[in-house]
């Protein structure tokens, strides 16, 4: 469902695609609700079933009635606490989810799955914890908040704000913050509903030392707002940077970086930035059965560092 300016569907927005699926679901729900529900999930979910598995995860509990599951993440840093996150179960989406997406002009990727780049972001941040010590940090488009929670638990950051534009996702983030409150030490941890097209964020403007994000350059229609909010959040005085992880996905990443330059920011792209992640990548490229269909362009997240 990734949009492509060079394709015949270049004028189709993410919101119009969601409305089309919602319409089909409503029209056909009475005919065969089970089949239509599965169709909607197959089309919308974009579930990334495989990943780098850099942070071990164990299922603790699956609540079939609420569609939620509790998972325990073991951070690969000696002495670090374990993190317990409540997440939606695989392929769990509903019509109400799509209605929220259209009401707030957002997508539901953070609600229905955790993407491989989030795992890579969390692992990279844990491996470079010194860059966060005593810093103000914000995660954009965080989903369930694994990377932000890992930073808060293991890097001695001054403050971590974990944000998403989907209010349903923010509820999960706050729940996960509350669940793990004893793991953060002196670090202040907050959730926040932040839509990238927001104009009024005066209390946050130019206040963050570090911005982190993973797989946020998926939809080209959001590039301009994402670049603008990145420029707006980075501190004006003193060093500050944004750390993004994203696959190229055709020309999607390049188009986003054009917007970054248009906002007066600088960037660098690094392909091999961690020995363990690169080893996983090479293994998948050589046909490892644990990730069938692995493609570098769509699956391997590049490290993008953005500065003033």
**What are the pLDDT digits (tens) for 7-28?**
434 344 555 554 454 444 444 4
CA distance 113 to 76: 22
Tell me what pLDDT residue 55 has: 94
pLDDT of residue 256: 98
What pLDDT score was predicted for residue 40?
35
Which residues are bridge partners to 160 per DSSP? 137, 189
DSSP state string for 67-116:
TEEEEEEE-SSTTPPEEEEEEEPTT---HHHHHHHHHHT--SHHHH---H
Per-residue model confidence (pLDDT) at position 100? 58
CA separation for the pair 229, 140 (Å, rounded): 10
**In 3D, which of 302, 303, 293 has the Cα closest to residue 248?**
302
Under 8 Å between Cβ of 46 and 114: no
pLDDT tens per residue across span 187-222:
999 999 999 998 878 789 999 999 999 999 988 999
The CATH number of the domain covering residues in 52-307: 3.40.50.150
Tally Cβ neighbours within 10 Å of residue 250.
Answer: 16
Which residues of 78-221 form beta strands (DSSP E)? Answer: 82-88, 136-140, 159-164, 188-193, 210-214
Parts of the chain with a pLDDT under 70: 1-49, 90-114
Please, which residues have CB within 8 angstroms of residue 32's CB and are 6 or more apart in sequence? none
pTM higher than 0.75 for the full model?
yes
Domain boundaries, the chain: 14-43, 52-307
pLDDT for res 231:
96
pLDDT at 64: 75
């Amino acid at each position: 469902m990734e949009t492509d300016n060079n394709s015949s569907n270049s004028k189709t927005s993410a919101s119009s695609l969601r409305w089309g699926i919602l319409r089909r679901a409503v029209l056909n729900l009475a005919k065969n609700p089970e089949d239509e529900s599965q169709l909607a999930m197959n089309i919308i979910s974009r579930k990334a079933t495989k990943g780098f598995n850099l942070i071990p995860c164990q299922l603790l509990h699956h609540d079939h009635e609420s569609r939620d599951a509790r998972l325990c993440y073991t951070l690969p840093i000696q002495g670090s606490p374990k993190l317990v996150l409540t997440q939606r179960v695989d392929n769990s989406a509903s019509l109400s989810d799509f209605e929220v997406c259209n009401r707030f002009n957002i997508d539901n990727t953070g609600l229905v799955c955790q993407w491989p780049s989030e795992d890579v972001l969390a692992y990279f941040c844990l491996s470079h914890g010194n860059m966060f010590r005593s810093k103000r940090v914000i995660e954009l488009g965080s989903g369930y908040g694994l990377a932000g929670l890992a930073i808060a638990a293991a890097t001695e950051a001054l403050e971590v704000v974990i944000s998403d534009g989907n209010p349903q996702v923010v509820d999960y983030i706050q729940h996960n913050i509350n669940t793990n409150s004893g793991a953060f030490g002196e670090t202040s941890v907050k959730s926040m509903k932040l839509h990238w097209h927001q104009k009024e964020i005066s209390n946050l403007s130019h206040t963050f030392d570090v911005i982190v994000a993973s797989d946020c350059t998926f939809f080209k229609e959001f590039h301009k707002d994402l670049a603008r909010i990145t420029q707006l959040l980075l501190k004006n005085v003193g060093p500050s940077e944004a750390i993004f992880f994203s696959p190229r996905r055709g020309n999607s990443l390049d188009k986003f970086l054009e917007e970054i330059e248009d906002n007066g920011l600088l960037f660098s792209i690094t392909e091999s930035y961690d020995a363990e992640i690169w080893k996983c990548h090479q293994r998948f490229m050589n046909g490892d059965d644990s990730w069938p269909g692995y493609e570098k362009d769509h699956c391997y997240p590049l490290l993008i560092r953005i500065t003033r």
